[in-house]
Amino acid sequence: MGSGICAGVAPDHFVLVDGLSRPLTERIPAAEAVLDAADSCPMEAVIVSDVDTRRRVAPEE
């Protein structure tokens, strides 16, 4: 869909490439802005998980 909300909400962690949001690195810290981006994504394309437990942190189910 490429809404670009991720890049707008967390520009230090996401960038727009050809109209689609992409993370700047493969793994990014679960900063507050990243959690907000995950909660704001209309397609739930951003999922934040705990590295050790793989438990989903955001968006909330």
How confident is the model at residue 8, as a pLDDT?
92
pLDDT number for residue 40: 93
Residue 3 reports pLDDT greater than 80: yes
Q: Which CATH architecture has domain 5-58?
A: 2-Layer Sandwich (3.30)
Q: Is 46 helix (H, G, I), strand (E, B) or coil?
A: coil
What is the phi/psi pair of residue 6, to 5°? Answer: -55, -50
pLDDT at 61: 77
- What pLDDT score was predicted for residue 4? 87
**CB 20 within 8 Å of CB 40:** no
Q: For residue range 15-60, what is the model confidence (pLDDT) as tens digits?
A: 999 988 889 998 888 899 999 999 999 989 899 999 899 999 999 8
pTM over 0.75: yes
